[in-house]
Chain A
Amino acid sequence: MVFIQISISQKILIVKLENDLDHHVANEIKDEIDRQIMTSKTESIIFDFEKVKFMDSSGIGLISGRISVLDAQKESNNIIKNKNISSSNDIAIINLDKRLTTMMRISGLDKIVNFFDDLESAMSALRKNKHSD
C-alpha cells in the first residue's frame, strides 16, 4: 500500500499523505520524509491531507516531529539567526476536513502551523515567508 508521495519544488517539500495515518504508518514513513528533508536541503514542508482517510494522534506526532527535524537541520546549517524562532512557521497544512481540524485544535498544532485551502496558496505563502526572513 502507498502511504506518501513526496515531491520538492524550490526547497519546499510537498508530502502527500494517503490512506490511514496511524502509529504503524507514521513509523514507516517518517524516516523517508527525514531523508528527503536532509538530501534536498528542505526549508519548508507542505503536508497535503486530501487523500487521508483516517488519522489518529500519531499524525500529530508525525508533524511536530518534522518541525523538530527542520529546526535541527537549520541550526546545524546556521540558517536560524534567532534560536527562538521555530520552524513551525515553515510548515503548511492543506486539505483538512472537519475531523482532522478538531485533532489539530486538540493538539494545539493549529496555533503554530499554517493552514491553507490549496497547494497554490500554501506555496506562495511559504515563499513570501522566505523573502521576508
Chain B
Amino acid sequence: MQESKKNNEKSDIKKNKKNKKIINSVVIAVDSISSNESFVRVAISAFIASLNPTVDELNDVKTAVSEAVTNAIIHGYEDRDIGKIFITCKIKNNEITIEVRDCGTGIDDIATAMTPMYTSKPDQERSGIGFTVMETFMDKVVVKSQKNLGTKIIMTKKFFTGY
C-alpha cells in the first residue's frame, strides 16, 4: 500500500531520467470574485511546492499572482461583471511560468498602464504599483491585451535554492 502510493506520486511528475526534466502544469479557472484571490495564491503555492522554493521565493510568486488576479477582477471585469479568470502554471525544471488571463475590458495603452504609480482607479484606493510589484518579484513579466477582448499576463521565475 505504502509502496504503490509512492509510485503514484512519482508518476504524477513526469520525470524523464535521461534529461532530468521535470515538466508539469495546472490550469485553474475561477469566477472574478475577490475571495478567490486567496484561493488562487494557496493553489499556486501548493502546486509549486514540489520545487522546494524558499519562503522568500514562494512569497514573491504569491505576491505577483495576487496582483494579476486582483487586476483581472477590479480592472478586467470592473468589479461588477462576474467573468472567468484563467490561471495556468507550468513547471519546467527549476523555472515556472504563470499566465493570468481575463476576457474583460482590455488595456488601451500597455506602456502607460505599466508605469509605476499609474492607476485608472485612484478613487478605489488603488496604488498603481501592481505591475511594478510583479516586475520586482518575478524575473520577467509580459503583458498582452486587446481592447474589449481581454488581458493576459505572462510571468516567469527561476528558483535556485532548494531545487
Contacts and interface: CB of A to CB of B under 8 A. Distances in A.
B133 interface: yes
Interface of A: 20, 22-24, 26-27, 30, 54-58, 60-62, 64-65, 99, 102-103, 106-108
Given A22-B70, A56-B70, A106-B132, A64 B125 contact: yes
Contacts, number: 67
Interface of B: 34-35, 37-38, 41, 56, 59, 62-63, 66-67, 70, 73-74, 116-117, 124-127, 129-130, 132-133, 136
B41 to A, nearest CB: 7
A22 B127 contact: no
A108 B128 CA distance: 11
A65 B116 CA distance: 18
A22 B38 contact: yes
A109 to B, nearest CB: 8
Given A24-B34, A24-B38, A58-B70, A65 B125 contact: yes
A126 B116 CA distance: 30
Contact of A99 (B59, B117, B126): B59
Which DSSP category, helix, strand, loop or mixed, fits chain A's interface? helix
A61 B126 contact: yes
10 contacts: A27-B34, A54-B59, A54-B62, A56-B67, A56-B70, A57-B67, A57-B133, A64-B127, A102-B136, A106-B132
Contact of B38 (A20, A26, A30, A65): A20
Given A61-B127, A64-B127, A103-B133, A23 B73 contact: yes
A97 to B, nearest CB: 10
Contacts of A103: 129, 133
Contact of B37 (A24, A57, A61, A64): A24
Contacts of B124: 61
B117 A54 contact: no
